[in-house]
A and B are shown apart, each in its own frame.
Chain A
Amino acid sequence: MGTGWVDREGPSHHDRAMRRLVPISILLLIAGWIAASAYDLPTMAAVVAVLCIASACVGAVRGRAPDRRLPAALSAIFITILAVLLFLLGNETGGATGLVLLLGVMALLALLVPIVYALTFPTNRDPR
C-alpha cells in the first residue's frame, strides 16, 4: 500500500486553487449547519443540506469536464429539491398536500437522478 496516491501526481494551478477553496467551503457549510441547529433555522438548514449534497458531487462533475450535461442536470435537480424544501418551509405546508408533494417529488427524482447518472457516465476513460 502506498501513501498519498493523489498527491504524487503533482499539483497544478487549478489544484492549488482548489486546495484553498475546498477548506473554506467546507468550513462555511459546517458553520452554516451549526448556526441552523443552534438557532433552529430550518431555511438555512435546507440550503446547507442541498449545498452539502451538491458539493459531495463536485469531484465527479470535475471528472466529466468538458461535458456540461451533468452539471446542468445536477443543478436542475438540486434547485428542484431546494425549491420544494423552501416551499414547504415558507408555506408551512401540512396535511395531505405536504405529504403528496413530498411523495411526488420523490417519485420524480427517483426517475431523473439514476438516468442522468447513466447517460453522463464517461464511456472510455477513468472518471477521475
Chain B
Amino acid sequence: MTLWILFAAALVAFAFWGWRNTRSATAFFTASRTVGPMLAGIGGTAAGLSAFVFVGGPGYFAAVGAASLWIVFSAPLTGALQCWAVGERVVSLARRHDCLTVPDLVAARFGEGWPRGLTALAVLVGAVATLAVQVKGAAVAGEVLLGVPGWLVAGAAVAATVLYSAAGGMRTGILAEAAQGVVMATAAVALAVFALVRAGGPRQAIATIAELRPELLDPWGGPGPTASIGLFLLFALGTCAQPHYLQKFLLLRDRESLRWLPAVMTGALLAVLTVWVGVGLGGTALWLRGELTISSPDQLAPALLASTGSRAFIIIAAAAVIAAVMSTAATLLNLVAAAVTRDLPQALGREPGPGLGAARVATLGAGIAAAALALLSNRPVALLGVLGWGTFTAALLPVMVLGLSWRGAARRGAVAALAIGPLVQLSAEWARTTGVLAVRWEPGLLGAAAGACALVMLSRPGADR
C-alpha cells in the first residue's frame, strides 16, 4: 500500500512538473524538438509496442505457433526501414515547414483542406482503436495476474496516463515512455528466460510441441504461407505508416540523430520481443503438457505467471504490461488531442485556439472514449491490435511512403488514397470476419494497395495542373 501511495505521489509530481514546463504547442506536441536518438529510440519502441506484445503475442503463438513469428521477423528491418523510407523526409519537411503533427506533414506536402482533414480523421479512428487495445490489455492483465477487476486496473492505468499526458503532452510523455521502455525490456527478457527454463529449456520446449502439436512448429501453419507473408509485410511496411512512430521523428533535435536511431530501436525492439518467442514457446509447451490451464490464447502469458505463485514475479510482469499500455497510450492520447484541437479545425479553415486548455481536455476525452470502446468490444487483444495497425497502414502508407518520396504524387491522388485506403480496409475486415473474404487477404495491405493505386492513377504527370 505504501508503495502505491509513493507511486501516486511521484506521478502527481511528474504531472505538475510537466504542467509548469509546457507552455506552447511545440512543447506539448513535439517536446520542443529536444530529443536525441536514445530517448526517441527507446521511447518510440515503447510507444510502438503495446499490451499486444505481452498479452497478444504469446497468445498468438499458442494459437497458430511459429507462423506468428512472421510478425516478429519484420523487427530487424523496421527501425532502418522507417528512417530510410520516411524518417529522413519527415525530419527534412518538419524543419522546413515547422510541422508539429503527422497531418501537418501531409498538409505541407499536399496542401491544406482535405489532405490534412482526412489524415487527422484516420489518426483519430486508428488511435482510438489502438488505445482500446491498451485498455483491454490492462484489463486482461489485471484480472488474471493481479486478481482484481480488469476495469479497475485498466481505469487506473488510463487515468495515470491521462494525468501526465494532459499536463505535459510529449514533454512528459517521451520521458515516461523511455522509462517504461526500460521496464518493458528488462521484464520481457526475465519472463522469456523464466518461461523457457520452466519448460525445461528451448530444446525441451520444442520437443514437447513437436510431440504433442507438431503443426505449431510449422512456419507456414495457422493462416498459411500467403497470409503469413502478408503479416510480415504488414508489420514491416506498416511501421512507416504508424503515427505513433512517425511522431518520434518530429521530436528529434537534429538530422544527425537519425544515424543511430535504427540501432537503438532495433535493440529495444528485440529485447521486448523476446517475451513473444520465449513465453510463446515455453508457455505453449507447458500448456500442451497440461501444466497450464487457459480458456483463450490471450490468457497464456498471465496464466503462466499466475502459476508461479511468486508475488514478485507477478508484480514485475504486471508492471511490464502496464508500462506497455501506458507508453503507447500517452503517444496516442497526444495524437488524438492534436487531431481534434489543431488538425481538424485547420482542415476546416479555422485557426487552432490559443493555449493548451483544449488539447488537455481532448486528451481526457480520448482516454474516456478508448476505455468505453474496449469495455464494449468482445474482440481479442491481438485482433483489435491488428485492426488499429491495419487502419493506419491502409490510410497513411501510400501518402507517407509514396507521397513523400515520389515527386509526381499529386494532391488529388493523395486525397483519394486517404479516403479509399481505410474504406477498403474496414470493408475487407468485415468481409473476412463474416467469411466472405478468404483469410489470406490481409485487410490493411489491401487498403494500402487500393490507396496506392488511387494515388498513382490520379497523379499521372500533369493530372493536377
List chain B residues, Cβ under 8 A from A42: 220, 224-226, 229
Q: Interface readout for A92-104 with B: 1 if CB under 8 Å, 0 if not?
A: 1111101100110
Which A residues fall within an 8 A CB radius of B?
A: 1-7, 11, 15-16, 18-20, 22-23, 26-27, 30, 33-34, 36-37, 40-42, 45-46, 49, 52-53, 56-61, 63, 85, 88-89, 92-96, 98-99, 102-103, 105-107, 109-110, 112-118, 121, 126-128
List chain A residues, Cβ under 8 A from B206: 96, 99
Apart from A40-B226, A115-B263, 18 more pairs, CB < 8 Å: A3-B109, A18-B407, A18-B408, A26-B402, A26-B456, A33-B449, A49-B233, A52-B233, A53-B77, A60-B85, A95-B218, A96-B210, A99-B206, A99-B217, A113-B76, A114-B260, A117-B79, A121-B259
List chain B residues, Cβ under 8 A from A118: 259-260, 262-263
Across the interface, name the chain B residue whose C-beta is closest to A63.
B88
Residue B249 interfacial (CB < 8 Å):
no
If A42-B225, A49-B233 touch, whether A57 touches B219 (CB-CB below 8 Å) is no
Contact A40 B218 (CB under 8 A): no
Assembled-state Cα–Cα distance A126/B76 (Å): 25
Residue B406 interfacial (CB < 8 Å):
yes
List chain A residues, Cβ under 8 A from B112: 1, 3
List chain A residues, Cβ under 8 A from B232: 49
Contact A99 B219 (CB under 8 A): yes
Other-chain contact of A45, B69, B79, B225, B401 (Cβ < 8 Å): B225
Other-chain contact of B407, A2, A15, A49, A106 (Cβ < 8 Å): A15
Max count, chain B CB within 10 A of own CB: residue among A15, A56, A88, A107? A56
List chain A residues, Cβ under 8 A from B408: 15, 18-19, 22-23
Q: Chain A's nearest CB lies how many Å from the CB of B348?
A: 15
Assembled-state Cα–Cα distance A65/B190 (Å): 44
List chain A residues, Cβ under 8 A from B459: 23
Assembled-state Cα–Cα distance A6/B206 (Å): 53
Across the interface, name the chain B residue whose C-beta is closest to A3.
B111
List chain A residues, Cβ under 8 A from B404: 59
CB interface residues, B 109-148, toward A, < 8 Å? 109-112
Contact B229 A49 (CB under 8 A): yes
List chain A residues, Cβ under 8 A from B75: 106, 110
Other-chain contact of B224, A40, A63, A106 (Cβ < 8 Å): A40
If A58-B405, A99-B66, A115-B263 touch, whether A94 touches B219 (CB-CB below 8 Å) is yes
Q: Chain B's nearest CB lies how many Å from the CB of A79?
A: 14
* Stretch from B44-52, B90-98, B363-371, B385-393 at the A interface: B90-98
CB interface residues, B 233-255, toward A, < 8 Å? 233, 236-237, 240, 255
Q: Chain B's nearest CB lies how many Å from the CB of A42?
A: 3
Contact B80 A116 (CB under 8 A): yes
Q: Chain A's nearest CB lies how many Å from the CB of B250?
A: 15
Contact B230 A45 (CB under 8 A): yes
Q: Chain B's nearest CB lies how many Å from the CB of A118?
A: 5
Assembled-state Cα–Cα distance A85/B230 (Å): 13
Q: 10 pairs across A/B with beta carbons < 8 Å?
A: A5-B108, A18-B406, A23-B460, A40-B224, A53-B233, A56-B237, A89-B220, A99-B69, A114-B79, A114-B260
Contact B262 A113 (CB under 8 A): yes
Q: Interface readout for B101-113 with A: 1 if CB under 8 Å, 0 if not?
A: 0001001111110
Across the interface, name the chain B residue whose C-beta is closest to A110.
B76
Contact A59 B85 (CB under 8 A): yes
Assembled-state Cα–Cα distance A49/B236 (Å): 9
Residue B328 interfacial (CB < 8 Å):
no
Residue B453 interfacial (CB < 8 Å):
yes
Assembled-state Cα–Cα distance A23/B462 (Å): 14
Residue B452 interfacial (CB < 8 Å):
yes
List chain B residues, Cβ under 8 A from A23: 408, 456-457, 459-460
Contact A3 B220 (CB under 8 A): no
Contact B402 A57 (CB under 8 A): no
Other-chain contact of A3, B81, B110, B402 (Cβ < 8 Å): B110
Contact B107 A98 (CB under 8 A): no
Across the interface, name the chain A residue whose C-beta is closest to B453.
A30
List chain A residues, Cβ under 8 A from B72: 106
Across the interface, name the chain A residue whose C-beta is closest to B411.
A3
List chain A residues, Cβ under 8 A from B35: none
Contact B66 A98 (CB under 8 A): yes
